[in-house]
Amino acid sequence: MVRYILKRFFMMILTIWIIATLTFVLMNAIPGSPFNEERTSNEAVQENLERHFNLDEPPIVQYFIYLKSIATLDFGPSIKKPNSTVNDLLGRGFPISAELGIIAILVALLSGIVLGVLAALRHNGIIDYLAMTIAVLGISIPNFVLATLLIQQLAVNGGFFPVATWQSPMHMVLPTLALATGPMAIIARLTRSSMLEVLTQDYIKMARAKGLAPYKVVIKHALKNALMPVVTILGTLLAGILTGTFVIEKIFAIPGMGKYFVESINQRDYPVIMGTTVFYSAFLVFALFLVDIAYGLLDPRIKLHKEEGN
C-alpha cells in the first residue's frame, strides 16, 4: 500500500507540472500584451510595467520564474489589481468557493444515495419511477439553466429566497440546489443500479434468511458494497462541482474565485489566470489522490490487485 501511495503521489506531482506547463504555453501563445489597453504615447510606461512583471524576459526565463512561484506558493502580484497579490485573491475567494462546493457535494451525496436506495428497494414501484424521473431531469438540465429557473420561480416570483450574494444560510439554498442537482442525479442512478445488483447476491439472501432486520441488511451489508461505484466517480464529481462553482458564482453574484477568474480572463491578468488554474488543478488532483486511497481501503481486492500489478 505504501508503494502504491508513493506511486500515486509521484503521478500527482507530474500531472500538476504538465498542467502548469500547458497553462504557461497557452498564456504565452496569446498575441499582444496585457498592457495593450493601457498603451499611451509614452512607451517607457509600458516597458516599465512589463519589466516589473518580468514580461520583458525571454519565455524560458519567464517559465522558470513561474515554476519557482509555484514551488514557493507565491504567485506574485496581480497585473490589474496592483494592491493585491494572487495569494490575496485566493485567500479571499477560495474559502467561499470551497464552502459552496463542499455543501453542494454533501447535499448531492446524501440526497443521491437516499434516492438510489429507495428506488432499488421499491424497484418498479412509484418511488422508483419518481426517483429516476428526478434523476433524469437533474442530468438533463444544465446547472446554469436550473439556476436561472430557480431565481425566477423561487426568488423573483415566489420571494422565498434571496436572489443573490452569499450572506446567510438562506442565500446558500439556491446556489447549492443548482450546483448539486446534476451530481445528485448521477449518484442516485449509480446507487440504484448497484443496489439492485448487490441485493441479489447470496450473502444478502443469507443475511435475510438469518432473520436480520431489513434495515441492518441494507445498511450494514448491502450499502457498503453498493457505494463502490459512487466512490469511483467521487473525484470526477468533486472536480465538476468545484469548477462548476465559477458559473454559479457569476449567476448568483457570489464573491468567490469565479468572480476573480472570469475578470482575470477578460482583463488578461496572466498571474491570476495561471495561479488560479494551477491552484485548482493541484487541489483537484490531490482530491483524486485521496479518492484512490479511499477506494483501496474500502475494497482490499483493489489494493491487492494494484500491488500485484506493480
- Asked whether residue 177 is assigned to any structural domain, the reply reads yes
Last residue of a domain, which of 40, 71, 102? 71
pLDDT at site 210: 80
Asked if residue 247 belongs to a domain, the reply is: yes
Q: Is residue 185 very low, low, confident or very high in pLDDT (cuts 50, 70, 90)?
A: very high
**Nearest one of 85, 275, 61, 88 to 51, comparing CA atoms:** 61
Q: Do 46 and 99 sit in the same domain of this protein? A: no
Number of domains the chain is built from: 2
Which of 19, 43, 71 lies at the terminal end of a domain, its last residue? 71
pLDDT category of residue 180 using cuts at 50, 70 and 90: very high
What pLDDT is recorded for position 173? Answer: 92
Which of 71, 106, 124 is the C-terminal boundary of a domain? 71
The pLDDT of residue 306 is 46
Task: Say whether pLDDT at 123 is over 90.
Answer: no
Asked if 67 and 214 sit in the same domain, the reply is no
pLDDT tens digits for range 141-155? 988 899 999 999 999
User: Of 298, 296, 299, 301, which Cα lies nearest the Cα of 4?
Assistant: 296
Task: Assess if residue 310 is contained within a domain.
Answer: no
Domain contains 76: no
What distance in Å separates the CA atoms of residue 204 and residue 215, rounded to the nearest whole number? 12
pLDDT(303) > 80: no
Asked whether residue 53 falls in the same domain as residue 115, the answer is: no
- Is residue 98 one of the residues assigned to a domain? yes
What pLDDT score does 302 carry? 54
Please state, rounded to an integer, the average pLDDT across all residues of the chain: 83
Residues 151 and 61 in one domain: no
Per-residue pLDDT of 273-299, as tens digits, reads 888 888 888 888 887 787 777 766 666
Q: Are residues 58 and 193 in the same domain?
A: no
User: Is residue 276 a part of any domain in this protein?
Assistant: yes
**94 and 182 belong to one structural domain:** yes
Q: 76 is written with which cell numbers?
A: 506574485
Assess whether pLDDT exceeds 60 at residue 300.
no
**8 A C-beta contact, residue 230 and residue 187:** yes
Highest mean pLDDT among 109-118, 256-265, 266-275, 301-310: 109-118
pLDDT at 307: 46
Output the pLDDT for position 292: 74
pLDDT score recorded for residue 111 = 93
Judge if 6 and 101 occupy the same domain: no
Whether residues 51 and 141 fall in one domain: no
1-47 tens-digit pLDDT? 677 778 888 888 899 899 999 988 988 887 766 766 655 546 776 77
Identify the pLDDT of residue 296: 66
Assess whether 10 and 147 both reside in one domain.
Answer: no
Q: Which residue segment(s) compose the domain that 17 sits in? A: 2-71
CATH number, residue 123: 1.10.3720.10
Residue 168 CB neighbours (<10 A): 9
Condensed to tens digits (0 to 9), the pLDDT of residues 66-119 reads: 898 888 888 888 888 878 889 998 898 888 888 898 899 999 999 999 999 999
With respect to residue 309, please indicate whether it lies within any of the assigned structural domains. Answer: no
Residue 108 resides in a domain? yes
Of 78 and 239, more confident: 78
Cβ neighbours of residue 256 closer than 8 Å, sequence gap 6 or more: 93, 94, 96, 97, 100, 166, 245, 249
Residue 147 is predicted with a pLDDT of 92
pLDDT band at 309 (very low <50, low <70, confident <90, very high): very low
Same domain, 6 and 44: yes
Average pLDDT over every residue of 199-227: 80
Same-domain check for residues 119 and 258 = yes
Letter string b/e over residues 108-136, b meaning 16 or more CB atoms within 10 A of that residue's CB = bbebbbebbbbbbbeeeeeebeebbebbe
Using DSSP's 3-state secondary structure scheme, residue 77 falls into strand
